[in-house]
């Protein structure tokens, strides 16, 4: 099966099932316009994230890794007008582009864009004792995924959902000898979910327009 087939199926699924409006399309296009990496979630993955948030009845969402705000728009729409999304981004240029996209999508008033290293920003939120988040989407640097999971556990409650993206890394996650920091981070993240008595979780590998990867979903017990 070729990667072209994966792309064709993604195009079909997205065409049939995903309502991407002008603001979402513009957010994706803005990455290329501003020279940002085009590594946002695929449209059907964005829709999946939004559905997860809705199924969980999420009102408060924390996202690590904003980029241009594409997934943030999906999440912000899912939490509704009374909801709140905090999204954390290291690169101020990415955060600026994201703010414009969130404005255009009509959700800027329900999103806080925090600029800085996620370990610091999220660590501060945990120290401040903010209200627990209903869903945490971990999509920043993959090497720190285990640390982000620990922080997410300090910032959630029983029933909260934690999602980690890009955990399969073209299959490399299964190779214990792979010493790439991102692969090691994803591997340790999955092992932590599997062994932590505070969590129920699983992971699925995916193919599609973004290649071969996967995501993990966990629920806080
Ligand atoms: N969630 C976005 C979406 O689907 O539209 C994509 C996020 S992209 C995969 C990862 C982002 O994490 C990049 O914008 C990158 O600058 C940011 N990032 C990398 N290291 C970070 C760190 N230590 N703290 C916060 N953000 C970081």
Kind of pairing between the strands at 60-64 and 133-138: parallel
Provide mean pLDDT across the span 157-174.
Answer: 97
Which residues, including other chains, have CB under 8 Å from residue 1's CB and lie 6 or more apart?
A: none
Query: Is residue 40 in contact with ligand 1, taking CB distance under 6 Å?
Result: yes
Q: Give phi and psi for 99, each to the nearest 5.
A: -60, -40
Q: Angle at Cα 185 formed by Cα 182 and Cα 186, nearest 5°? A: 90
Q: Which of 65, 135, 144 to mutate for ligand 1's pocket (most ligand atoms within 8 Å of CB)? A: 65
The residue assigned the tokens 């007008």 is: 81
- 51-74 pLDDT, tens per residue? 999 999 999 999 999 999 999 999
Distance CA 217, CA 116 (A): 25
- 171-210 pLDDT, tens per residue? 999 999 999 999 999 999 999 999 999 999 999 999 999 9
Of ligand 1's atoms, which has the minimum distance to the CA of residue 137?
A: 1
Which helix (H) or strand (E) is 57 found in, with range? none
Query: Is residue 71 in contact with ligand 1, taking CB distance under 6 Å?
Result: yes
Contact 199, 162 (CB under 8 A): yes
Of ligand 1's atoms, which has the minimum distance to the CA of residue 27?
A: 5
- ipTM for this prediction: 0.99
Distance CA 181, CA 167 (A): 12
Query: Of 169, 29, 43, 152, which is closest to residue 88 (Cα–Cα)?
Result: 152
100 alpha carbon – ligand 1 mean position (Å): 17
Q: What is the pLDDT of residue 2?
A: 83
17 alpha carbon – ligand 1 mean position (Å): 26
Contact 29, 35 (CB under 8 A): no
Query: Of 62, 81, 80, 60, which is closest to residue 71 (Cα–Cα)?
Result: 62
- Residue 34 reports pLDDT greater than 70: yes
Distance CA 27, CA 33 (A): 10
Domains assigned to the chain: 3-220 (3.40.50.150)
């Amino acid at each position: 099966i070729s990667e072209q087939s994966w792309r064709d199926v993604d195009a079909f699924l997205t065409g049939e099932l995903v309502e991407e409006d002008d603001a979402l399309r513009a957010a994706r296009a803005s990455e290329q316009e501003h020279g940002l990496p085009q590594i946002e979630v695929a449209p059907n993955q964005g829709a999946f994230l939004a559905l997860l948030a809705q199924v969980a009845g999420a009102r408060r969402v924390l996202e690590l890794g904003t980029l241009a705000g594409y997934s943030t728009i999906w999440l912000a729409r899912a939490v509704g007008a009374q909801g709140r999304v905090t999204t954390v981004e290291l690169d101020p240029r990415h955060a600026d582009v994201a703010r414009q996209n969130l404005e255009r999508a009509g959700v800027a008033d329900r999103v806080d864009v925090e600029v800085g290293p996620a370990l610091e920003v999220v660590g501060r939120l945990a120290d401040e004792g903010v209200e627990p988040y209903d869903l945490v989407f971990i999509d920043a640097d993959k090497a720190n995924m285990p640390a982000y999971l620990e922080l997410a556990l300090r910032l959630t409650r029983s029933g909260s959902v934690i999602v980690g993206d890009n955990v399969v890394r073209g299959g490399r996650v299964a190779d214990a000898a792979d010493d790439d920091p991102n692969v090691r981070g994803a591997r340790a993240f999955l092992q932590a979910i599997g062994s932590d008595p505070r969590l129920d979780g699983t992971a699925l590998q995916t193919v599609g327009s973004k290649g071969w990867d996967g995501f993990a979903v966990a629920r806080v017990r």
